[in-house]
Amino acid sequence: KTFRPRKKFEPGTQRFELYKKAQASLKSGLDLKAVVQLPPGESINDWIAVHVVDFFNRINLIYGTMSEYCTEKSCPIMSGGLKYEYRWQDDNKYKKPTKLSAPKYMCMLMDWIEMLINNEDIFPTRIGVPFPKQFQQVCTKILTRLFRVFVHVYIHHFDSIINMGAEAHVNTCYKHFYYFIREFSLIDHRELEPL
């Protein structure tokens, strides 16, 4: 239920080319701080869109690999330790911030993000179609909530990640995510306190 089909970029599109550049940079062993910088002459919204979709795919995979350890019983509250609790609100079914178990929160989160990134009015894929004015606000909300997945995984399930031998992958993904959100000031610094 937590696994989703990967969102792909159409070959031949500008976003596909940006995605290939980002992937090539990551695989070349470059400094992650440099990798996240906007390539000269590229649109910041395209660059953010490519990364939001890529982070969604990667973080969904990370959570999916350890989701069997994150159960209603083990994680009855979506939290980041004793100090941080995350409540779900989507202005649809959950109009007020609502306490959910971590698995339920994750499921709601992945469904919500998938719905947004597949919405052509928010993440347009056709050339010449502009991004909406609130695009970066939407991305900030998506990235803030994806950050909470890292918080939960690191604080509550990192032993499972180590047992699977996946800590290097998770750490690299987190560093890439962290440098990206800092480069473009996409998450309020108070949200970053748990890690």
pLDDT recorded at residue 28 = 47
Q: Name the token pair of 73.
A: 């019983």
85 occurs within a structural domain? no
**CATH (domain of 53):** 1.20.140.30
Annotation: binding site: 70, 75, 152, 157
94 occurs within a structural domain? no
Indicate whether 81 pLDDT > 80: yes
Q: What is the DSSP string of 117-183?
A: HT-TTTS--STTPPPPTTHHHHHHHHHHHHHHHHHHHHHHHHHHHHHHT-HHHHHHHHHHHHHHHHH
75 occurs within a structural domain? no
Residues 6+ apart with CB under 8 A from 154: 80, 170, 174, 195
Domain that holds residue 19: 14-70+106-192
97 occurs within a structural domain? no
3 occurs within a structural domain? no
pLDDT tens by residue, 123-157 = 998 888 999 999 999 999 999 999 999 999 999 99
41 occurs within a structural domain? yes
pLDDT tens by residue, 14-33 = 555 555 554 544 454 568 88
45 — phi, psi (to 5°)? Answer: -65, -40
The domain total for the chain is 1
100 occurs within a structural domain? no
Q: What predicted TM-score, i.e. pTM, was given to this entire model?
A: 0.85
Indicate whether 2 pLDDT > 60: no
77 occurs within a structural domain? no
Annotation: binding site for Zn(2+): 70, 75, 152, 157
